[in-house]
Amino acid sequence: MKRRNFLRSAASAFPIALTQSFALATESFAEPTSEVHVVPSGQDCAGEAHSRGYSHILFKNTTQQTSGNLFLIEHKNLVAGGPPLHMHLDQEEWFFVIEGGILFQIGDKRLHLKAGDSVLAPRKVPHAFCIEGSTPGRMLIGFTPAGKMEQFFRDTAIPNPPVEDAAFFRRYDMQLVGPPIKPA
């Protein structure tokens, strides 16, 4: 095939390829539900209990309600401890502190947040948090897109959490980077 014919063929196929790619991308997302879900203060959207040992977790929505676009949780009674340093390969994680002081590490930065403060941990950036002081904390955390985070919190709930090693984190599209952080 001559170069000119090749370029003409490639140029004519490009719009078709774009259209097909767009159609495939949009097929994988179902429409979010239009149903209104009110979750009362201090409640889980399904009336369930979840704990990671250092906090009680309330699901404020399920990934099904948003077609996988958002998963929102409330950490209540956040005490000493916290997640290991990790990163999400496909999700941004947003934190909003409601009560208490919370130390965050996001990338190389250590941040001290208080009630009313928020911070975004971008995808592929290592992050962790822990409570500062003796007063329990409370915060909202949002994951977008939701990915496998709802299942992660279901699978790691106490009383019988699995061993959370590097292979375990990979199952939920995360990478374990290091141990939990500690207040200074």
pLDDT band at 34 (very low <50, low <70, confident <90, very high): confident
Confidence check: pLDDT of 130 > 60: yes
pTM metric for this prediction: 0.80
Question: What proportion of the chain, given as a percentage, has pLDDT over 90?
Answer: 69
- pLDDT (tens digit, 9 = 90+) per residue, 152-169? 999 998 888 888 899 999
Closest listed residue to residue 135, CA positions, set 85, 91, 80: 80
- Look at 4-18, 61-75, 103-117, 139-153 and tell me which has the smallest mean pLDDT: 4-18
pLDDT at 25: 38
Cα 106–109–110 angle (5° rounding)? Answer: 90
In the chain the domains, ranked by start, together with CATH numbers, are: 50-173 (2.60.120.10)
Q: Is the pLDDT of residue 19 over 60?
A: no
Q: Can you give the chain as a three-state secondary structure string? A: CCHHHHHHHHHHHHHHHHHHHHHHHHHCCCCCCCCCCCCCCCCCCCCCCEECCCCEEEECCCCHHHCCCCEEEEEEEECCCCCEEEEECCCEEEEEEEECEEEEEECCEEEEECCCCEEEECCCCCEEEEEECCCCEEEEEEEECCCCHHHHHHHCCCCCCCCCCHHHHHCCCEEEEEEECCCC
Say if residues 97 and 112 touch (Cβ distance below 8 Å).
no
Q: Which of these ranges, 5-9, 106-110, 147-151, has the smallest mean pLDDT?
A: 5-9
**pLDDT value at residue 159:** 83
